[in-house]
């Protein structure tokens, strides 16, 4: 009996390792391709160990303005995060703490946003952005994503679990609502804000349909406002047959996201549970 | 009585009417509108009003370059849904449902199995959790490119794997019969990490007593899973199904990068067709009509989900 359960435990471990390796293997293989010789990708068996040919990396790095593209992505993602934190904090406070006529209606309005898929919005928002001359700007990549239903409801949830004595004490002290929010509210909902920030940042970094539509025109590449993922897609269309070069580009554009995820994976996985509601985009 | 003792009394006393009024005034305020305004304005401007605008655009032969030259068509774009030539609306609808169905069934089964395997914790199992979640955190454009190589019939890993097991190889993305399964395999790889974590969260909240009672009563491991664990996981499962269905209906990037809707339109889903009609063929009005249909399907799924909801606050959002 004990032997059987020990064998079971080992079987479980071996299976888990095999699955983990299978999930990560595509990333490893990409690195291998990026370090291979350009001619060797034509036949079986596939190359499975790197040849350490770094020339692909420098060739790929010099054929697109990657630094500018990275800068764009970081600028867009950071501004989106700041906006989302402000709007989520204020609206979460309003829905969780304040009582005002129309609160129910506003809550329903915000919830209804979840039913409106990004693919449906892309046409009217493109027409709108075109009319307002916002195509090919940073603005159109930031402002429309500056509020998050998930963020609002996560902050609201934190305020709902707050003991009402804290609020009573603040009210008795004659604190204004803004002051309450700044000195008591923010520290109290900080864990929620961290989760919102991480998820919005990653969501912005990984988005594609919106930026590819909104920054479509062929612009001078040194002044482009495109994020790095759109740049990668353009690069892939132009250099489609240079597998090692493209693999190098895939690797160095994905590496920062991976490091970001691995550093914050605890919060990230916790966030994924609550992120469940964020089906927008 | 002195002022100090009165103040002390007020502090010690249970909340008096004056005190409660203050807290009520703090809460009850029309300023609530101002606090919610920034978020609500973003949603109104970029989500809610544009959704209404989609209906409007769908009634026109829309001129993207100069909207003033658009021609009113009434329901013309909608009647075109049923007699359009390649790629037809009905085939794209079928591809959307095929993809969504496969993702819901495959994704739910795989992520539940993974969660059961990984629920114990420990360094090794936790590392596997991170490995399984990693694809979900990385961008779809970049990872789709990787899978184009994996599915390459000349030097890709997928055929090499089949070949070394002496199984028949496949053309994957290059044949219309196997391209949708290939996109589904990629999407499962990218998405199951997220739903696995959701199931792990559900498993962590299960009551141990019920499982122990089942074991004391002599249930086998399978009976315990089927009658105890699975029953308790029902709300989480409903949630996973709903979220997978909605994200799959909207899926775009993998179709764009892996297969461009092909070959022979075999992977042209409704979402991809919206993009193609509106932004490649510049038929904005027809694209908008397709978008309205997609919207209707999403609302339908959401309402069905609401009706069958078992409740629970973590599911309140969908």
User: What average pLDDT does range B193-207 have in this prediction?
Assistant: 84
- For A116, the closest chain B residue by CA position comes to B295
What is the per-residue pLDDT for A111? 84
Residue B254 lies in a domain: yes
Domains of chain A, by residue range, sit at: 2-53, 65-230+255-275
Quote the pLDDT of residue A4. Answer: 62
Which pLDDT value is given to residue B4? 47
Calculate mean pLDDT across residues B277-288: 86
Residue B282 is part of which domain span? Answer: 85-315
- A106 and B40 within 8 Å at the Cβ level: the answer is yes
Phi, psi of A202, rounded to the nearest 5 degrees: -65, -40
B255 and chain A in contact, CB less than 8 A: no
pLDDT at residue B9, rounded to an integer: 47
* CB-nearest partner of A124 from B57, B189, B257: B57
Assigned domain for B66 exists:
no
Asked whether residue B16 is assigned to any structural domain, the reply reads no
What total number of domains does chain B contain?
Answer: 1
> Between these two residues, B206 and A192, which has the higher pLDDT value?
A192
Average pLDDT over residues A182-187: 87
Note the pLDDT of residue A43: 63
Do residues B130 and B200 lie in contact, with contact meaning Cβ atoms separated by under 8 Å? no
Q: What residues of chain A, 167 to 206, have a C-beta less than 8 Å from chain B?
A: 167-168, 170-172, 177, 180, 202, 205-206
Question: Considering the domain boundaries, does residue B46 fall inside one?
Answer: no
A65-230+255-275 fold: MetI-like fold (1.10.3720)
Q: How confident is the model at residue B131 (pLDDT cuts 50, 70, 90)?
A: very high
Q: Which of A189, A163, A192, A202 is nearest to A281 (CA)?
A: A202
Q: Is B120 a domain residue?
A: yes
Distance CA A179, CA B258 (A): 51
Give the mean pLDDT of B11-20.
Answer: 55
Residues B50, A117: C-beta atoms closer than 8 Å: no
Nearest neighbour of A100 by CB, restricted to B32, B278, B316: B32
Question: In chain A, which residues have their Cβ closer than 8 Å to the Cβ of B275?
Answer: 119, 122, 209, 213
Residue B55 contacts by C-beta under 8 Å, 6 or more apart in sequence?
B288, B292
What is the tens place of the pLDDT at every residue in B221-250? 888 888 888 888 888 888 888 888 888 998
Average pLDDT over residues A239-248: 83
Average confidence (pLDDT) over B70-88: 77
pLDDT at res. B144: 93
Cβ-defined contact of B138 to A246 (cutoff 8 Å): no
Residue B17's pLDDT is what? Answer: 61
**Does B205 contact chain A (CB < 8 Å)?**
no
Q: Of A7-21, A76-90, A258-272, which range is least confident?
A: A258-272
In chain B, the percentage of residues whose pLDDT exceeds 90 is: 28
User: Per-residue b/e over A253-276, b at no fewer than 16 CB within 10 Å?
Assistant: bbeebeebbeebbeebbbbbbbbb
CB of A252 less than 8 A from some CB of B: no
pLDDT digits (tens, 9 = 90+) for A154-170: 898 888 888 888 877 87
Per-residue model confidence as pLDDT tens digits over A46-76: 777 788 888 889 888 988 888 999 999 999 9
Q: What average pLDDT is seen over chain B?
A: 82
Residue B6 has what pLDDT?
47
Crossing angle of helices B49-57 and A118-131, in 10° steps, is 90
Q: Does B114 touch chain A (CB under 8 A)?
A: yes
With a CB cutoff of 8 Å and minimum separation 6, the contacts of A197 are A81, A84, A85
Per mean pLDDT, which range of A11-15, A227-231, B165-169, B274-278 is the poorest? B165-169
Q: In the predicted model, is pLDDT for residue A271 greater than 90?
A: no
User: Cβ–Cβ of A117/B294 closer than 8 Å?
Assistant: yes
- Of all residues in chain A, the one with the smallest CA distance to B299 is A115
- More confident call, A73 vs B60: A73
Q: Which residues of B68-93 are buried (b: 16+ CB within 10 A; e: fewer)?
A: eebeebeebbbebbeebeebbbebbb
Interface test with B, best of A124, A142, A151 (most B CBs within 10 A): A124
A and B: number of Cβ contacts within 8 A? 322
Residue B314 has pLDDT above 70, yes or no: no
Give the model's pLDDT for residue B101: 95
Using CA atoms, how far residue A52 sits from A56, A123, A172, B96, in Å, is 10, 45, 68, 42
Distances (CA, A) of A65 to A34, A228, B146: 19, 9, 22
Is residue B157 over pLDDT 90? no
B33 contacts A254? CB cut-off 8 A:
no
Question: Which of A244-258, B60-74, B162-176 reaches the highest mean pLDDT?
Answer: A244-258
Show which of residues 58-87 on chain B sit within 8 Å of chain A, judged by CB atoms. 64, 67
Q: Is the pLDDT of residue A217 over 70?
A: no
Query: Phi first, then psi: what are they for B169, rounded to 5°?
Result: -85, 175
DSSP state of B309: -
- B55 belongs to a structural domain: no
Evaluate if residue A40 carries a pLDDT over 80: no
Q: Is the pLDDT of residue B2 over 60?
A: no
Position B310 confidence tier, pLDDT thresholds 50, 70, 90: very low
* B27 inside 8 A of chain A by CB: yes
> pLDDT value at position B97?
93
Over 80: is that where the pLDDT of A220 sits? no
Token couple for A222: 């040194």
Q: Which pLDDT score is estimated for A256?
A: 92
CATH of the domain at B159: 1.10.3720.10
Cβ contact B133–A269 (<8 Å): yes
pLDDT at B60 over 90: no
* Alpha carbon distance B243, B194 (integer Å): 10
Q: Give contacts of A128 with chain B, Cβ < 8 Å.
A: 46, 50, 53
Complex ipTM value: 0.86
State the pLDDT at residue B3. Answer: 47
Q: Which residue has the tokens 């966030």?
A: A271
**pLDDT score at B85:** 67
Angle in degrees, 0-180, between the axes of helices B179-204 and B234-250, rounded to the nearest 10:
150
């Amino acid at each position: 009996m004990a032997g059987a359960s020990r064998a079971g435990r080992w079987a479980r471990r071996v299976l888990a390792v095999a699955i983990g390796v299978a999930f990560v293997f595509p990333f490893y293989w990409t690195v291998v391709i990026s370090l291979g010789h350009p001619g060797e990708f034509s036949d079986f068996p596939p190359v499975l160990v790197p040849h350490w040919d770094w020339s692909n990396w420098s060739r790929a790095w010099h054929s697109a303005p990657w630094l500018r593209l990275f800068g764009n992505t970081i600028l867009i993602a950071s501004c989106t995060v700041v906006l989302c934190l402000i709007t989520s904090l204020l609206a979460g406070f309003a829905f969780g703490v304040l009582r005002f006529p129309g609160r129910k209606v506003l809550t329903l309005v915000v919830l209804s946003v979840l039913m409106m898929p990004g693919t449906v919005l892309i046409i009217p928002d493109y027409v709108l952005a075109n009319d307002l001359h916002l195509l090919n700007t940073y603005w159109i990549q930031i402002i429309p994503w500056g509020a998050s239903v998930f963020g609002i409801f996560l902050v609201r949830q934190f305020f709902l679990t707050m003991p009402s004595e804290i609020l009573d004490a603040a009210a008795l002290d004659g604190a204004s609502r803004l002051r309450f929010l700044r000195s008591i509210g923010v520290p109290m909902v900080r864990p929620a804000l961290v989760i919102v920030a991480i998820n919005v940042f990653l969501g912005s970094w990984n988005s594609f349909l919106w930026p590819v539509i909104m920054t479509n025109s062929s612009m001078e590449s040194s002044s482009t406002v495109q994020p790095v993922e759109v740049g990668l897609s353009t690069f892939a269309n132009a250099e489609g047959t240079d597998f090692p070069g493209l693999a190098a580009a895939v690797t160095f554009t994905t590496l920062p996201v991976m490091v970001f995820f691995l550093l914050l994976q605890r919060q990230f996985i916790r966030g994924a549970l609550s992120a469940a509601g964020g089906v927008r985009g | 009585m002195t002022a100090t003792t009165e103040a002390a009394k007020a502090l010690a006393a249970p909340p008096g009417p004056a005190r409660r009024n203050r807290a009520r005034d703090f809460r009850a305020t029309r300023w609530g509108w101002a606090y919610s305004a920034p978020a609500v304005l973003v949603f109104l401007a970029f989500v809610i009003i544009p959704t209404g605008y989609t209906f409007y655009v769908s009634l026109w032969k829309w001129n993207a370059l100069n909207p003033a030259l658009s021609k009113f068509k009434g329901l013309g774009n909608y009647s075109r849904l049923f007699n359009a030539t390649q790629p037809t609306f009905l085939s794209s609808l079928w591809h959307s449902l095929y993809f969504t169905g496969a993702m819901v069934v495959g994704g739910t089964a795989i992520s539940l199995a993974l969660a059961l395997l990984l629920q114990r914790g420990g360094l090794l199992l936790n590392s596997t959790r991170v490995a399984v979640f990693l694809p979900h955190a990385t961008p779809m454009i970049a990872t789709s490119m990787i899978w184009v190589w994996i599915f390459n019939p000349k030097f890709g890993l997928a055929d090499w794997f089949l070949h070394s097991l002496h199984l028949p190889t496949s053309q994957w993305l290059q044949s219309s019969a196997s391209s949708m399964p290939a996109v589904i395999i990629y999407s499962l790889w990218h998405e199951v990490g997220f739903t696995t974590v959701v199931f792990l969260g559900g498993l962590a909240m299960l009551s141990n007593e019920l499982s122990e009672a089942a074991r004391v009563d002599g249930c086998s491991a399978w009976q315990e899973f089927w009658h105890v664990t699975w029953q308790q996981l029902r709300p989480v499962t409903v949630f996973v199904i709903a979220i997978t269905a909605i994200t799959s209906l909207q899926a775009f990037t993998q179709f764009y990068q892996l297969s461009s809707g092909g070959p022979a339109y075999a992977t042209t889903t409704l979402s991809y067709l919206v993009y193609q009609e509106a932004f490649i063929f510049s038929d904005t009005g027809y694209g908008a009509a397709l978008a309205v249909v997609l919207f209707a399907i999403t609302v339908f799924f959401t309402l069905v989900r609401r009706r069958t909801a078992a409740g629970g606050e973590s599911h309140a959002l969908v």
